[in-house]
Amino acid sequence: MRFLFLGDMVGRSGRNAVFTALPGLVADYRLDFVVVNGENAAGGFGITEEILNQTLSAGADVMTTGNHVWDQREALEFAPREPRFLRPLNYPKGAPGNGSGLFEAKNGARVLVSNIMGRVFMSPDLDDPFAAADQLVASCPLGEQADAIIIDFHAEATSEKQSMGHFLDGRVSVVVGTHTHVPTADHQILSNGTAYQSDAGMCGDYDSSLGMEKEEPLNRFVTKVPRGRFEAAQGPATIAGLAVEISDRTGLAEKISAVRIGPRLEECRPDFW
């Protein structure tokens, strides 16, 4: 199974880059399944139903989120009726929407996708992510109820992300980190066959501060006095993510490649297929 994950879409620039590039990537690389993190897609804060539908129409099969999931209040309304929209799994019981779902890939594979949020330096402080992950994979084991399992671990600390990777190694197909908006150079297949990257990076304007116009964040670091709101940067965007070839036999990773396509970062395409 050919799988593509794209990191956090930030603002109009990021989402337009995804909408433009994704249909061609699906066709050129014959992708079976695509997950996009969209929690920053609406002006950098949350997501609207219109943007969700545009992302799905562009070729995404599932959208994951994170700590900004409810920044656009309408998400509270559409989350319960759209199974392809995932909020973090480890929200307390009763939260709207779903933290995981079982989906069918283009090749017929059963793909379990879950969005889990870390606790170190994160707000809100959700339930134990490791317990949530353990319960999830126990309820839908790889090779039994699921042919592939994808985990978007939305977290700040790389130590927590790496620990989650090792915790799930051999039990899931992919653990990919989101939230920090900076692509890490540690994409690898772990010892027991799980594809891992600490952070997929963002789909947005990298001439910025994490996808935001750089002047106001810089001002706050220097003066400690806010002068305005954070605004999503509008320059040309680079899309960043992770491509993984997953074994149809074992559900574990066989090949892995970072993906970076755009004007500012060194380009990296899934060149192993």
Contact by Cβ (8 Å): 124, 171: no
Question: How many Cα atoms occupy the beta-carbon half-sphere of 244 within 13 Å?
Answer: 34
Determine the Cα–Cα distance for residues 73 and 76; give it in Å rounded to an integer.
6
Output the DSSP codes for the chain. Answer: -EEEEE-EEBHHHHHHHHHHHHHHHHHHTT-SEEEEE-TBTTTTS---HHHHHHHHHHT-SEEE--TTTTSSTTHHHHGGG-TTBB--TTSPTT-SSBSEEEEE-TTS-EEEEEEEE--TT-SS--S-HHHHHHHHHHHS-BTTTBSEEEEEEE-S-HHHHHHHHHHHBTTBSEEEEESS-S--S--EE-TTS-EEES---EEB-SSSBTTB-SHHHHHHHHHS---S---B--S--BEEEEEEEE-TTTSSEEEEEEEEESSSSPPB--TT-
Of the candidates 68, 154, 181, 187, the residue annotated as catalytic is 68
Threshold 0.75, pTM exceeds = yes
79-135: pLDDT as tens digits: 999 999 999 999 999 999 999 999 999 999 999 999 999 999 999 999 999 999 999
pLDDT at 33: 98
Distances (CA, A) of 216 to 202, 207, 227, 230, 231: 19, 13, 7, 6, 8
pLDDT at 195: 98
- The answer to whether residue 187 is catalytic is no
Output the DSSP codes for 18-51. Answer: HHHHHHHHHHHTT-SEEEEE-TBTTTTS---HHH
Among candidates 114, 200, 118, which has minimal Cα distance to 159? 118
Bridge partners (DSSP) of residue 110 are 104
pLDDT at 39: 96
pLDDT at 271: 73
Question: What SS3 class is residue 216?
Answer: helix
Question: What SS3 class is residue 111?
Answer: strand
Bridge partners (DSSP) of residue 112 are 102, 149
Name the pairing type of β-strands 195-197 and 188-189.
Answer: antiparallel
* Tokens 């539908």, residue located: 53
pLDDT at 179: 98
The residue type found at 197 is: Q
Residue ranges of the chain whose pLDDT lies below 50: none
198-216: pLDDT as tens digits: 999 999 999 999 999 999 9
Which one-letter DSSP state was computed for residue 116? Answer: E
